[in-house]
Structure 1
Amino acid sequence: MFSHLLLAIDGSDHSRRAAEKAIELGKLTDHATIEILYVVDGSKSKSDILKYGDSEAASKNRQQMLHSFEELINDAGISTKITILHAGTPAESIIKHANEGNYDCVVLGSRGLSTVQTMIIGSVSHKVMKYAKAPVLMVK
């Protein structure tokens, strides 16, 4: 049923809740896998470098965040893998990756870290719901 899940995250609290729901779905079957997808947003990447001092520190912070999600899923007894994409906007990258894969469901938070972008061009989650071919679970 829900054996191959795609969990799109950005490190926000909504992403954490989405991960918890993905785990619930994954536990419905014996051999579930959850792929954690993180898209490096070019504009956010620049601000991360300024925030953490350099690109290496920003990358290390990103890896720690991803590891915490991976650990949460593995502790639930579900296998996982991490995919990091560096091209395109988050919405376009998630949609493209989801449509190229054979996922039973795409799980993501209803809101992420970018509030200004949401007001101007619409939320990532709404775009994914509109254009992804697989069912999408948007978590509040």
Structure 2
Amino acid sequence: MYNRILLATDGSEHAIRACEQAVQLAANNPNASITVLYVVDGATSKTDVLHHSNTIDLEQSRREKLTISERRIKEKDIAYDIEMLHGEPGPTIVKYANENRFDVCVIGSRGLNSLQEMVLGSVSHKVAKRVECPVLIVK
């Protein structure tokens, strides 16, 4: 059984499906807890700052991306916490997962086409290659 579950999310549809899988992993385990990790990418962070009048609005906008996942976890009465970090998503998720010794990492697949994936690589593949715990990539 997995007690310490890391859910890496960006608020996308893929991430919401990943949340559903994380909830299923934790649902019948009273010792399970989910850490919801949202990484603010430096590239999108600059755009976010330009579109929000102050830091409170910006922080609220980022939290709203986690609302659906948070609601689904609460519905099942699962212990959870939320972490927001800044950096490049792949390496930041890997560093956080490895430093905090999670039992499993659950992450959504972005569904990049094969050419994009070959050239750029996806966050989920970068995480799967470098994280020291099992990784569940959800389509």
Which TM-score tier does this pair reach, normalised by the shorter chain? 0.7 to 0.9
Residue aligning to 1:33: 33
User: Distance between the aligned counterparts of 1:133 and 1:59, measured in 2?
Assistant: 30
Task: Report the residue type matching 1:62 in the other structure.
Answer: R
Instruction: Report the RMSD for the aligned CA atoms in angstroms.
Output: 2.1
Taking a change above 3 Å as real, the CA distance of residues 136 and 58 of structure 1, as seen in their structure-2 partners, is same
Residue aligning to 1:43: 43
Residue aligning to 1:61: 61
Which consecutive residues of structure 2, in runs of 5 or more, have no partner in the other structure? none
* Alpha-carbon shift at residue 4 of structure 1 (Å): 0.8
Residue aligning to 2:20: 20
Which consecutive residues of structure 1, in runs of 5 or more, have no partner in the other structure? none
Residue aligning to 2:103: 104
Q: Is the 8 A contact 2:16 2:68 kept in 1?
A: no
SS of aligned partner of 1:38:
strand
User: Distance between the aligned counterparts of 1:43 and 1:57, measured in 2?
Assistant: 18
SS of aligned partner of 1:107:
strand
What do the CA deviations read for 1:58-78 (whole angstroms, capped 9, x no partner)? 321111222432222011110
Within 5 Å, which residues of 2 pair with 1:119-134?
Answer: 120-134=119-133
SS of aligned partner of 1:30:
coil
* Alpha-carbon shift at residue 35 of structure 1 (Å): 0.2
User: Distance between the aligned counterparts of 2:89 and 2:9, measured in 1?
Assistant: 10
Q: Using the aligned pairs only, state the percent identity.
A: 46
Figure out how many residues of one structure are paired with residues of the other and give that number.
Answer: 136
What do the CA deviations read for 1:35-62 (whole angstroms, capped 9, x no partner)? 0001110111122233445544232111
Q: Is the 8 A contact 1:106 1:135 kept in 2?
A: yes
* Alpha-carbon shift at residue 13 of structure 1 (Å): 0.4
- TM value normalised by structure 1: 0.87
Is the aligned partner of 1:6 residue 2:6? Answer: yes
Q: Is the 8 A contact 1:3 1:104 kept in 2?
A: yes
Q: Out of 98-107 and 53-62, give the one that drifted further.
A: 53-62
